[in-house]
Amino acid sequence: MSSPTPTKNTSLPKRLADFPTLPDALDYAAQGETGFNFYSSRGHLNEVLPFADLRTKARDVARNLCGAGVVSGDRVALLAETAPAFLIAFFACQYAGAIPVPMPTPVAFGRRDAYVGQIRNQITSSGAVMVITPLEFMPFVKEAADGLDLLLVGTLDDLRAQPQADDLNTGGPDDLCYLQYSSGSTRFPKGVAVTHDNLMANCTAMNVAVNVSTEDRGVSWLPFYHDMGLVGFMLGCLTSQTTVDFIPTEEFARRPLAWLRVISENRGTMSYGPSFGYELCCRRFSSSNAAAPNLDLSSWRVAGIGGEMIKPQVMRAFAKVFKSCGFADKAFNASYGLAECVLGVSFSTPGHGMLLDHISKQELGGDHRAVPIDDDGSGTGRTFVACGVVIDGHTVEIRDDDGAVMAERDIGRVFFSGPSVMQGYFGDQEATDACLQDGWLDTGDLGYFWGDQLVIVGRSKDMMIVNGRNYWPQDIEWTVEHMDGMRSGDAAAFTLEQDDGSEKPTILVQCRPSAADIREALVDNVRSRVQNQVGLACDVILVPPRTLPKTSSGKLARGKTKANFLSGEIQPLAAGA
């Protein structure tokens, strides 16, 4: 069994993404010994891919791409499995001047037809000329590509069987580097167009924000088709020559403690995840206390949180459970970002832990002000986690509906500008114009400034307006999820239009028990708890387990949930049946 790549390079100086293009970054990293390592959920080292080997293999396959007829600027769709083959194909596109389009694997979807429809939409909307997939997913891809005029639909080995061209054209800083489809894209996918300049600007700023050094080693279970996995722990780490240990996303879901074991054994220092990833570890740990002596998490200096609204109670629970394993809550590093800005927008200061702001619910929903109050347990406030300081070289403004910049603690729409802002949505000028004007990106998120700290409170399109008052669905969902027997992702809140034009607040709740009396009690308890905690009278509708759809990154797909319920795809359970 080979050894994983080392944390440090022997003599290659550390550079933080100060390269013209991604191929330049790999050319440099290949001069050292660091690289990528691929682990199973049982902690076994399956494959080792030093940056030097990645460069050699990618350049070789790039000649196959060109020999197969791919020309500079062509899009190549790649199923983003957590495996060396994906990285080789991705960087082969870079050396050939092609534009890779990472696509989700079937494990991110519940139904075959939904998955096939999604990737077909991404293939067609990107104008991809080729699709490369692992052999096990070939039936899905063949179905999705049926009738499309493509140069090749096959595996990496099929691509390697193509003739090779002699010349390569890597493109320049202003050329597109890749297309990133947002995790919520379904019927109308929008591919975020990112140039090499965009990528390097964001990677430099992110590496600086978390103080990346020669001592750092990354560990990740995040999927390569999501921006946090693709950029945060693949491209961002490669551009700083940082070794990363990967665990396949689907294997993490089955055995979440594998994440912590790899951190412990390899002395990982940086790893990120959404709140639900930390929650999964807590849940599994509670039923596997024998693992406690085998974990040493004292090396973990940047325990990043992002990708969804941060749940402070989940993070507190994680810190409490794993304190005996050497985990320090000061390692928590809250952040905010989105694919339209490559990835990172703001980061907390490393080593400071979570900064919490407890504000009045009445002011939050009424005057749209973040008014701080004491957290006395009365339920009159809501706690938010500050997402840190805006990255160097970039600017965030909080604006009202008329576009005016708002004062500190005023809640409004989050606008972002700087060299990381995307070029637009590929092939969709209308969608681009709707969110991008004069270099400013309307993120669609709501937030406020607390000093220099950016605080995100939710998505503007998800806000529930009832009798002229604003309610955040996350408040309702969190209230339900913290009832006994409930889990994260068990509730979805939204409004439904009534015949008289009014909006009725509604909660879908996943229900596991089948007994009529237990179901009736659950409906009553949910209704009462939400009324008491949030001050809102809601319809409570029970639905079967595993019914509420999620995005490919694991977040609740609230809009899709509502659409599926209205279409009848989600059928309610009888409360008393």
- The reply to whether 426 and 489 lie within a common domain is no
Greatest mean pLDDT range, 23-32, 224-233, 290-299, 353-362: 23-32
Question: Does 322 have pLDDT greater than 70?
Answer: yes
Lowest mean pLDDT among 83-87, 147-151, 282-286, 372-376: 282-286
- The reply to whether 433 and 326 lie within a common domain is yes
User: What is the β-pairing status of strands 45-50 and 270-273?
Assistant: unpaired
Question: Does 249 have pLDDT greater than 60?
Answer: yes
Structural domain includes residue 212: no
List Cα–Cα distances, 188 to 15, 181, 182, 337, 452, in angstroms: 39, 11, 11, 22, 36
Over residues 255-302, the pLDDT tens digits come to: 999 999 999 999 999 999 988 899 899 988 876 554 455 899 999 999
Over residues 39-52, the pLDDT tens digits come to: 998 889 999 999 99
- The reply to whether 399 and 486 lie within a common domain is no
Structural domain includes residue 334: yes
Q: Which of 149, 201, 163, 527 is nearest to 342 (CA)?
A: 201
C-alpha Rg value of the chain to the nearest Å: 24
Q: Which of 241, 234, 215, 235 is nearest to 301 (CA)?
A: 215
At 449, phi and psi to the nearest 5? -100, 135
- The reply to whether 299 and 429 lie within a common domain is yes
- The reply to whether 533 and 442 lie within a common domain is no
pLDDT for residue 177: 98
CATH (domain of 110): 3.40.50.980
pLDDT for residue 186: 42
- The reply to whether 456 and 491 lie within a common domain is no
> What residue spans of 132-246 are helical by DSSP H?
138-144, 156-160, 196-209, 227, 236-238
Higher pLDDT pick, 127 / 552 = 127
Range of the domain at 312: 256-460
| CA distance linking residue 185 with residue 165, whole number of Å | 35
- The reply to whether 410 and 261 lie within a common domain is yes
- The reply to whether 157 and 295 lie within a common domain is no
Question: Does 494 have pLDDT greater than 50?
Answer: yes
Sheet arrangement for strand 332-337:
45-50, 35-39, 244-246, 218-220, 270-273, 302-305, 332-337, 344-347, 389-390
Amino acid at 451: G
pLDDT for residue 106: 87
Among residues 460, 481, 496, the one where a domain terminates is 460
Domains of the chain: total: 3
Among residues 460, 493, 526, the one where a domain terminates is 460
What percent of the chain shows pLDDT beyond 90? 69
pLDDT for residue 48: 98
Question: Does 183 have pLDDT greater than 60?
Answer: no
- The reply to whether 435 and 503 lie within a common domain is no
CATH (domain of 504): 3.30.300.30
Q: Is 216 left (phi over 0), alpha (psi -120 to 50) or beta?
A: beta
Give the H or E element holding residue 195. Answer: strand 191-195
pLDDT for residue 266: 97
Structural domain includes residue 235: no
Structural domain includes residue 20: no
Structural domain includes residue 542: yes
| Per-position DSSP letters for 350-365, written without gaps between them | TTS---EEEEEHHHHH
pLDDT for residue 261: 95
Over residues 102-148, the pLDDT tens digits come to: 999 987 555 788 789 889 999 999 999 999 999 999 999 999 999 99
Among residues 396, 430, 460, the one where a domain terminates is 460
Structural domain includes residue 13: no
DSSP symbol at 47: E
Structural domain includes residue 268: yes
pLDDT for residue 500: 56
CATH (domain of 425): 3.40.50.12780
**Residue 552 pLDDT grade (very low, low, confident, very high; cuts 50, 70, 90):** low
Structural domain includes residue 86: yes
Mean model confidence pLDDT for the chain: 91
Question: Average pLDDT for residues 360-366, to the nearest whole number?
Answer: 80
Burial of 537 per CB tally in 10 Å (0-12, 13-18, 19+) = exposed
Long-range contacts of range 429-436, CB-CB < 8 Å, 24 or more positions apart?
Answer: 431/190, 435/340
Tokens of 391: 């990255």
pLDDT for residue 28: 98
Contact 387, 361 (CB under 8 A): no
pLDDT for residue 575: 61
| CA distance linking residue 158 with residue 64, whole number of Å | 10
Contact 553, 307 (CB under 8 A): yes
- The reply to whether 344 and 438 lie within a common domain is yes
- The reply to whether 478 and 456 lie within a common domain is no
| CA distance linking residue 534 with residue 520, whole number of Å | 21
Over residues 504-530, the pLDDT tens digits come to: 899 999 999 888 889 999 999 999 988
- The reply to whether 451 and 470 lie within a common domain is no
pLDDT for residue 397: 98
Question: Does 187 have pLDDT greater than 50?
Answer: no
pTM: 0.84
